[in-house]
Structure 1
Amino acid sequence: MDVYGLGTLAMDVLMKVDNLPSEDGFCIVKSNDRQPGGSGTNVIVQLARLSAECGYIGAVGDDILGKEVLNSLRDEKVDINSMIIRPGMITLHTDIVIDDGGSKFIMLNMGDAFESLTTDEIDIQAITSAKVFYTDLLPKEPAIIGLRKAKEAGVKTVFNMQVGLGTMQGLNVSKQEILSALKYVDIFAPCRSGLYELTGTTDLDACARCLQEYCEGTLLFTLGKDGSVIYDDNNRKYTVPSCDLKVVDSTGAGDSYMGAFIYQHCLKGMPIEESMKFATMCAGYTCTGIGARYSPDLEIAKTLVWK
């Protein structure tokens, strides 16, 4: 297949509110919705919608949430033959609260199925026969084994750290384990908070110098409304601004960006800056609708014009 993923998955419970409350405050819930989410599966779904052949592995419970996660991937034509179903366990899910301006906070319920995935259960053949192996390093042990096996097989590896260092540590992944894993990584894409916490600085050039001690590949920094920056393996710097648009909901925009960049650069072989612009337009499209899966398919993506 084109891309094989191992990482987070979830069901998202979306609550649209009139404002994000401060401590001891309250808000009015204007609407509720339930949608499949999880950063890892969002990236894979974006890739699948752009016509990439994708597979995924993770562990879900046999609850209604787990069934919906599996059905959502199946509906997107993602190969789920490697997925693990745990009887009697609870599937990872999130509650996402979004205000009228698109700002949000996310509450994560880990359940007990997701982190139960073991290294013995991962499909090494699927990993090493793919063109790209994608992970967010969760769960830790299977993801690190996957990165190592993929790297040894000459498969392009992508590590997208979509949460901050504190959250990673709460999920039993230390800073040193993150940095040590970078020797197996061709493209490292940390979120802004994770980047700053890993490196101890907000200066992007200094961030790059720090990470280049551990990673010989490409560094991709997504910065929300401030656009994105890439340092390639020759330390050339590329900067692309964000799209100028009215944001409805920014949930999943980074996932859409990542999937679109992998598709355009890793699978289609397009130059870095062109791939960044394509990814930025796909992420911008995601911001114009509700939910992490409001991402463009290939036909829609072809109509997006860089401005």
Structure 2
Amino acid sequence: MSDVDVVVFGSINEDVTVHLARMPEAGETVGGRTLQTGCGGKGANQAVAAARLGARTAMVGSVGTDPAGRRQLDALHDAGVDTTGVRLVGAATGTALALVDDDGENRIVVVPGANELAPTNGDLLRDAAVLICQLEVPVPAVAAVAAAASGFFALNAAPAMAVPSALLARCDLLVMNETERDALGAIAPSGYTAVTLGAAGALLLRDGREIARAAAPRVEVVDTIGAGDAFVAALAIALARGWDPRTALEAACLVGADAVQHPGARPPLHPLEHYRPSSD
């Protein structure tokens, strides 16, 4: 086990994925090749990624009492994630509908369901050495959890939306893609801000100044859905462990590149040390 305890507060979804040759234009109908049902939610994906990277990991969130909820709990447990912080509620388990084309690009629609009732109190959240959140649960819930947390706090600002300045101020790490950065128009005032750039890699800022940039390795892209969540988990753990920021960013990009070579939202990963650049 790692010396870093990770708790992820966030969404747990049933994923419905359609694979197709290309994305439809507005008003256009195209044929799909396959339809798959699986496990997802940015929160749950990040929890599984953290566990696969070698961290002792717990999930806090909500699922319904429907069959989908049971499937999600079983999948988290099988991945080595502690699910004692997951609440069963009287609402349908969250669902994500994804389109994935032949280039590995995706379009996703999320119906939150039970995620809107995620619990915001408890020792797991307050005492976590590393707490990772996203925005697929209500922003006030994320803000409350962040305010009470005592450890390293990482926020993945996805999906793109406005967040309170107090929440940004609490971030030790704020992670966004370019679209989310444009929508949010902010940085973590006292911590790190990472911006993912797709095939161009990622950059890391501190106090609004770029301190590191890492290229994305050239790999065959199969599916990009799980890459961002794997990147977030890797970067949060590496920085919390005290890795040099450039080394942490390069390792997280390697994790993301590994993730896109596998289908699905929860790709197989190596322990984080495997991705540490050999030059470090």
TM score, norm. by length of structure 2: 0.90
Cα distance per residue 1:95-146 (max 9 Å; x no partner): 11111111221122222x2112354xx21x2123221111114232332121
> 1:159 aligns to what?
155
Distance 1:58 1:141 in 2: 14
Contact kept? 2:203, 2:210, Cα under 8 Å? no
Are 1:187 and 2:187 matched, yes or no?
no
> 2:133 aligns to what?
135
Are 1:293 and 2:231 matched, yes or no?
no
Query: How many pairs align?
Result: 275
Cα distance per residue 1:158-216 (max 9 Å; x no partner): 11112122xxxxxxxxx2x43331121111112221111222xxxxxxxxxx536xx21
Contact kept? 1:13, 1:34, Cα under 8 Å? yes
Distance 1:100 1:66 in 2: 30
Deviation of 1:147 after TM superposition, in Å, equals 0.7
Equivalent position SS for 2:212: strand
Contact kept? 2:159, 2:180, Cα under 8 Å? yes
> 2:69 aligns to what?
66
One-letter code aligned to 1:126: L
One-letter code aligned to 1:82: G
> 2:96 aligns to what?
94
Distance 1:247 1:55 in 2: 29
Distance 1:236 1:190 in 2: 14
Contact kept? 2:173, 2:236, Cα under 8 Å? no
Contact kept? 2:204, 2:213, Cα under 8 Å? yes
CA RMSD in angstroms comes to: 2.2
Contact kept? 2:250, 2:277, Cα under 8 Å? no
Distance 1:257 1:117 in 2: 24
Of 258-267 and 242-251, more deviation after overlay is shown by: 258-267
Among 14, 29, 35, the alignment partner of 1:11 is 14
Equivalent position SS for 1:196: helix
Structure 2 residue runs without a partner (length 5+): none
> 2:116 aligns to what?
115
| Percent identity of paired positions between Structure 1 and Structure 2 | 23
One-letter code aligned to 2:46: V
> 1:20 aligns to what?
23
Distance 1:114 1:136 in 2: 12
Contact kept? 1:6, 1:56, Cα under 8 Å? yes
Cα distance per residue 1:71-111 (max 9 Å; x no partner): 11111111111111013x20111111111111221122222
Distance 2:126 2:263 in 1: 35
Distance 1:260 1:49 in 2: 10
Are 1:54 and 2:52 matched, yes or no?
no
One-letter code aligned to 1:105: R
Are 1:225 and 2:175 matched, yes or no?
no
Of 98-107 and 24-33, more deviation after overlay is shown by: 24-33
Equivalent position SS for 1:34: strand
Name the CA shift for 1:190/1:305 in 2 (closer, same or farther; >3 Å): closer
Among 211, 214, 232, the alignment partner of 2:187 is 211
Name the CA shift for 1:131/1:19 in 2 (closer, same or farther; >3 Å): same
Greater helix fraction, Structure 1 or Structure 2: 1
Distance 1:48 1:118 in 2: 21
Deviation of 1:234 after TM superposition, in Å, equals 8.4
Distance 1:240 1:229 in 2: 6
Of 258-267 and 52-61, more deviation after overlay is shown by: 258-267
Greater strand fraction, Structure 1 or Structure 2: 2
